[in-house]
Amino acid sequence: MSIELKNVSYTYMAKTPFEHLALNDISLTIPEGKITAIAGHTGSGKSTLIQHFNGLLKPDSGVVLVDGTDIGSKNNEAKMARRKVGIAFQYPEHQLFEETIAQDIAFGPKNMGCGPEETDSRVKYAMDFVNLDYNKYADRSPFHLSGGQKRRAAIAGILALKPKYLVLDEPTAGLDPKGRESLMGRILKLHKEEGTTIVLISHNMDDIAQYADNVIILSKGKVLIQASPEEAFSRVDAIHQAGLELPEIKEILNELAAKGLPIENNAYTMEKAVSEILSVLGRQGKC
Amino acid sequence: MLTDITLGQYFPGESPLHQMDARVKIVLLFFYIIAVFLFDNNINYALMTGFALSLIILSRLPMGMVLKSVKPLWWIILFSFLMHIFSTPGESLVKVWILDITGEGILKGFIISLRLVLLILISSLLMFTTSPLKLTDALESLMSPLKRVGFPAHELAMMMTIAMRFIPTLLEETDKIIKAQQSRGSDIGDGNFIQRTKGMLPVLVPLFISAFRRADELSIAMEARCYRGGEDRTRMKQQRVHDIDYVATGIFIGFICLLVGIQVIYT
C-alpha cells in the first residue's frame, strides 16, 4: 500500500493576475514502510504537494489515493484514509495553543474521538517518543519550553494521532546541530519500531543522503527525479537544474574520481564512502 | 483558501488611471463625490453615470469585477430604495397594506440608489487602480498640512502601512495554523455558534502569539535602523505630478463646468 498521486495539478488564485500554477501534472508514489525524501528549491511546490496528502488541498485535476482510497470523496472511508496521514508543518511549534503540554498533545486524539484513557495513554506514548519526560513536563505550559523542546512537543501532537504515514516539512529547520540529531534520531526510531512511513521534506541533501530510501526531486511544480538515492545523486545536472546541491560526501567522491582514484562512486553516506575509499586503497596496497 | 484574498483590492495594470498620482486621484474623487450629491438633474445623472463607466473602461479592468464591488452594500441600497418608494408622498400607484407606492417614490428611490452605486463604483476604482502603499503615502502627503497643529500624519500613515503590510502575512499565518489544526483532526467552522467559537481558539491563540512576536521583532528591527518618526525623512519613491495628472485634472474641471452649466440652465 502507498500514497499515490495521479496527474495532480493545483493552481493558486486561479483567474486573477496573481494566478500561479504550483503543481503541474504530478504523478508519484510514496511506498509504505520506507523513508521518502522530497527536495526542491524554494517555490518548487513541496509544501503545496504535501498538503494534498491528507486532503487539506484538493487537486484541480487528478486524484490522490491513500492505500487505494480516493481521499477526495466525501464518504467515511475517505475520511479514515485522510487520518492515516499526519503532517507536521514547518515550525510546528507555532501551532501550540493549550495551557499545558499534555492538553495540547491530547488535542488530536480528542478530535479523533478517543476516550480519556486512550487519550492519556497516547499522550504518554507520544511524549515518550519525542523524549519529553511525562512526569516533568505534562503540566507545564508549552510556551515556557526551549525552542527544540517546543518543536518536539508539537511533533508529539502529531504522533499522538498514530499516523501510518508521517509527513515532516523541514523538521529540523532552525534547530542547533544537537537538536537536529536528537530529533532525527527520534524519527528514525519511530520508523524502525512502529514501521511508520516517513515523508521528509528537506533542503539538506546530507540529511537526505543519510536517511532516505527514496528521493523525489521537484522543480517548478514538476517531478524531476523519482528514484533511489544512488540513482538520484548520479544525475548531477538534473540536481543542479533543480537549484540543489549534491550531498557533500558525493561531491568529495566525485572529485576523487575526477582526480583519478578508481572508486565505484556509488556511495552517498559517510560509512559507505569510507568503506569504498578504503577498499580502493586496499587494492592499491596503500593501506 | 484564505490566502486567495487579495490585499485591499489592488489590481495591477498599466492604464492611465494606474499611472496617475494617487494624491490627484484622491482629490478628484473627493470632488466627484460632492458633485454626485450636489447636482440633481436628470441629464447630470446620465452624464455622471457615463463618466464613471468610461473611467472603468479607461482603467482596462474587467467590468464585471468593478461592478461586483457594489455587492457588499447591496442591502443598504435596496433598503434606501424601498424606504423612498414607500415614504415619498405623491399619486398612489399601488397600495400595499397601509403603504402607498408612488411614481415619485420610485423615481426618487432610483436616483438615491444610483447615487450610492456611483459613489461605490468610483471609490472602488480608486482602490482597484492604486496600490495600498501609494494610497497611504498619498494620504500622508495630503494630511501633512495638519502636522502644524500637531496632527500625527506620518505616524498614522506608518501605522496604516504596517497594518496593511501584515494583512497578507497574518492571513497566511492563519491559513497555516488552520491547516495544522485540521491535520490534528479539528473541524473548524462546524457545529453551532458555541462550538464554532470554541473551535476558533486553537487558531486564535497561536495567531495572537505570533502577531505579538512579529510586532516585537518589527519594532526592534525599526529601532536598529534608527527609525524615529517622520521628521526629515526622505523617500525612496518620490510622489510627482506628471503630465497625465494635469490632463486628467483639466478634463475633470471641464466635466464639472459642464455639470454646473447644465444645472444652472435647467433650474
ipTM of the prediction:
0.84
How far is the C-alpha of B149 from the C-alpha of A30, rounded, in Å? 67
Per-residue pLDDT of chain B (267 residues; tens, 9 = 90+): 444 444 457 888 888 888 899 999 999 999 999 999 888 888 889 999 999 999 999 888 888 888 888 888 888 899 888 888 887 777 777 777 777 777 788 888 888 899 999 998 998 889 889 888 888 889 888 988 888 888 888 888 888 888 888 888 888 889 889 899 988 887 665 667 777 777 788 899 999 999 999 999 999 999 999 888 777 777 777 788 889 999 999 999 999 999 899 888 887
The total of structural domains in chain B comes to: 2
Domain co-membership, B255 together with B228: no
Of A16, A96, A107, the CB nearest to B6: A16
The verdict on residue B105 lying in a domain is yes
Domain co-membership, B57 together with B20: yes
Contact residues of A toward B, CB < 8 A: 12-13, 16-18, 51, 54, 56-57, 83, 86-87, 89, 92, 94-97, 107-108, 111-112, 143, 157-158, 161
- Chain B residues whose CB is inside 8 A of the A51 CB are 179
Domain co-membership, B121 together with B177: no
Domain co-membership, B217 together with B251: no
Which DSSP helix (H) or strand (E) runs through A39? Answer: strand A35-40
Q: Is B149 exposed, middle or buried (0-12, 13-18, 19+ CB in 10 A)?
A: exposed
Contact B183 A107 (CB under 8 A): no
Domain co-membership, B118 together with B157: no
The verdict on residue B147 lying in a domain is no
The verdict on residue B14 lying in a domain is yes
In order of their start, the domains of chain A are 2-244 (3.40.50.300), 247-287 (no CATH)
Residues A217/A208, Cβ–Cβ less than 8 Å: no
Listed in sequence order, the residues at least 6 apart from B50 whose beta carbon sits closer than 8 Å to its beta carbon are none
Domain co-membership, B179 together with B265: no
Q: Which residues pair with B102 in a beta bridge?
A: B92
Residue B132, all three cell numbers: 495600498
The verdict on residue B139 lying in a domain is no
Residue from A275, A281, A233 nearest A37 by CA: A233
Contact A12 B177 (CB under 8 A): no
| Residue A132 to chain B, least CA–CA distance (Å) | 20
| Residue B203 to chain A, least CA–CA distance (Å) | 8
Contact B128/A at CB under 8 A: no
Contact A97 B205 (CB under 8 A): yes
DSSP single-letter state for residue A15: T
What chain B residue is nearest to A11 in terms of C-alpha separation?
Answer: B4
The verdict on residue B23 lying in a domain is yes
Segments forming the whole domain that contains residue B113 = 1-131+240-267
* Model-wide pTM > 0.90: no
- Chain B residues whose CB is inside 8 A of the A92 CB are 180
Domain co-membership, B127 together with B182: no
The verdict on residue B117 lying in a domain is yes
Of A17, A18, A95, the CB nearest to B181: A95
Contact A89 B182 (CB under 8 A): no
- Chain B residues whose CB is inside 8 A of the A17 CB are 11-12
Domain co-membership, B119 together with B208: no
The verdict on residue B263 lying in a domain is yes
How far is the C-alpha of B219 from the C-alpha of B204, rounded, in Å? 22
Per-residue pLDDT of chain A (287 residues; tens, 9 = 90+): 899 999 999 998 877 777 888 999 999 999 999 999 999 988 888 989 999 999 899 999 999 999 999 998 888 888 889 989 999 999 999 999 999 999 999 999 998 888 999 999 999 999 999 989 999 999 999 999 988 899 999 999 999 999 999 999 999 888 888 888 888 999 999 999 999 999 999 888 888 888 899 999 999 999 999 999 888 988 889 999 888 888 888 888 888 888 888 887 777 888 888 888 888 888 777 66
